[in-house]
Structure 1
Amino acid sequence: MREVDSNVSSTALKALSVLEFLGEQQRSVSVQDVAAGLGSDRTTAYRMLATLVQSGYVVRDESAKLYRLSLKVLSLARHLVSDDERSIQIVRSLRRISEETGETVHYSALDQDCAVLVFRSKGVQRVSVDFQIGDRSPLTSTSIGKVLLAYEDPRFVDTILARGLPKLAPKTITDPEQFRRELSLVRAQGYAYDDLEFAADMRCLAVPVFEKGGRVPGGIAISGPSSRFSLEKLDELRTVAAREAIDLSRNLGGFV
């Protein structure tokens, strides 16, 4: 049983859960929607929403009595993705890959137990996988997750695997030891594939981007429908992505 930290505010955690729930919705929602989504009672949901409205992070439509995130939420993240030299370098690399391949290209970074999409360059393919900036993906069933874990401290990997490997698609790896072997392979070859592991109709590839000290805080990934993304296609795209990732790693001080 997990020990409860007396320094943690349960009220603050509930309010943050409401923010996360609202952020996942593509429409305004009611108090009852929030209560059902969080598994709480209506009174608690209403109190959390009222607090967030008062603080300016949530907007209430008085006529319909519905709630949505306010634009103030953007102010929390404005410094995370700033136009500094590092960000400019990453975006330029993504654009070069996208221009050469025609595919949408992503740069995702490790954030706690997920990979978060931070930058992207839109491709020209009409049939594609439309991930958005800010989307979070699991570490154990995606190519970018494998890349990030492959270069992490083994103790962190142990923590992630101890939480289980849920089966999300036909080829999701659910055996911890098999997954550890997969990470060893990723580290040896310098890239990772997701072959119908995250979704039944999608394949992906990812390559690491090294920074100072040999760290791998993020990586470049390309995802697409399995109807277009054969394993042979992944090989072609990986060649382009790996070449650009090496150049980017040099520019970011990852290679001496």
Structure 2
Amino acid sequence: MSSVRRTIQVLDLLARKGALGVRSVAQQLDLPVGSIHRLLNDLEAEAAVERNAEGTWQLGYRLLDIVELQLDGLGFQRLARPFCEAIAAAVGETVNVNVTSGDGCVCIDKVRGNESMQLDWKVGSRGPLHCGGAAKAILAFLSDADQHRIVNAPLPRFTPNTITAASALREELERIRKRGYSIDNQEVVLGVFCVAVPIVDRTGRPVGAISVSGPSPKAPGSTVQPLVDQLSAAAGEISRRLGYAGSWPPKSAAMAHDIRAAS
């Protein structure tokens, strides 16, 4: 096993389990104690891990600095935060910002509303693109080639409402493109509903999404439209600040809107 892979495994374990002794780390990763001890000392020298008062190992603040630099580079968190705060205050539910990551997406920021029940992803949570409001909002506006690859891959089921048939998912993505937003009807977690709008870069490619999630039911139509309007205004402004100069909503959704308006 390469040293890089061991390093990632150690950091991931400490992130998930909290402070651990060197023997515990070695046992849980099934690696030699001596190797883990040397690795932890190297990581300590780079401030990636540190020993606490009890003598066990925990993550250091260097990793937070690295993550902050990454988020600043993406620009999403800084650009989206004021919109998230305004929407969360207005609707009382949690506003999430997700970015694309390979064939999945990652929650990079959230602002809680004032609802007593808050059902949402933790910052750093990673999920697939075939289910969930933000994920489907991203997937619906990807290129045909990217969609084909993801839709025809295995589609894990998380709840009875998760879409796991490729044909049904393609139909759902077409509906999302036409109306410009996605709906999550308890596809990832039972009791959690979500509405989301994509964020695009200067080329029009979806690079993230902004969403509202919570316990109140959400379905396509006039009832959810006020939420959609707020999310769309925020996503449009963030996209423009990322260099997007096209019409809003993105092309396919805008075309559908023009057709409806003319009919």
Per the normalisation by structure 1, the TM-score is 0.79
Q: Distance in 2 between matches of 1:180 and 1:125?
A: 34
Q: Distance in 2 between matches of 1:138 and 1:84?
A: 20
1:79 lines up with 2:69 in the alignment: yes
When structure 1 is superposed on structure 2, of 98-107 and 84-93 the one drifting more is 84-93
Q: Distance in 2 between matches of 1:149 and 1:142?
A: 10
Question: What residue identity is the alignment partner of 2:12?
Answer: E
Q: Distance in 2 between matches of 1:128 and 1:151?
A: 28
Question: What residue identity is the alignment partner of 1:99?
Answer: A
Distance 1:30 1:224, change over 3 A: farther
SS of 1:212's partner is coil
TM-fit CA distance, 1:206:
0.9
Gap regions ≥5 residues in structure 1: 1-8
SS of 1:177's partner is helix
Q: Distance in 2 between matches of 1:49 and 1:86?
A: 33
TM-fit CA distance, 1:49:
3.8
Question: What residue identity is the alignment partner of 1:29?
Answer: L
Corresponding position of 1:10: 2
Distance 1:28 1:88, change over 3 A: closer
Specify which of 8, 19, 24 is matched with residue 28 of structure 1.
Answer: 19
Contact 1:31 1:42 in 2 (8 A): no
Question: What residue identity is the alignment partner of 2:2?
Answer: S
TM-fit CA distance, 1:137:
2.5
1:179 lines up with 2:169 in the alignment: yes
Contact 1:210 1:255 in 2 (8 A): no
TM-fit CA distance, 1:81:
2.7
SS of 2:171's partner is helix
Specify which of 134, 137, 145 is matched with residue 124 of structure 2.
Answer: 134
Q: Distance in 1 between matches of 2:208 and 2:80?
A: 10
Contact 2:95 2:111 in 1 (8 A): yes
1:114 lines up with 2:104 in the alignment: yes
Cα RMSD for the two superposed structures: 3.0
Distance 1:229 1:31, change over 3 A: farther
Question: What residue identity is the alignment partner of 1:231?
Answer: A
Gap regions ≥5 residues in structure 2: 247-263
Corresponding position of 1:3: none
Q: Distance in 1 between matches of 2:230 and 2:78?
A: 19
Summarize deviations over 1:195-253 as a string: whole Å, max 9, x none: 1110122111110123312122111011112xx33437655423332233234434444
Question: What residue identity is the alignment partner of 1:205?
Answer: V
SS of 1:79's partner is helix
TM-fit CA distance, 1:88:
4.2
Corresponding position of 1:93: 83
Question: What residue identity is the alignment partner of 1:73?
Answer: L
Q: Distance in 2 between matches of 1:66 and 1:241?
A: 44
Specify which of 92, 110, 120 is matched with residue 102 of structure 1.
Answer: 92
Q: Distance in 1 between matches of 2:187 and 2:153?
A: 18
Corresponding position of 2:139: 149
Q: Distance in 2 between matches of 1:69 and 1:162?
A: 38
1:198 lines up with 2:177 in the alignment: no
TM-fit CA distance, 1:158:
4.0
Specify which of 46, 51, 60 is matched with residue 51 of structure 2.
Answer: 60
Q: Distance in 2 between matches of 1:33 and 1:170?
A: 38
Q: Distance in 2 between matches of 1:145 and 1:114?
A: 7
When structure 1 is superposed on structure 2, of 184-193 and 231-240 the one drifting more is 231-240
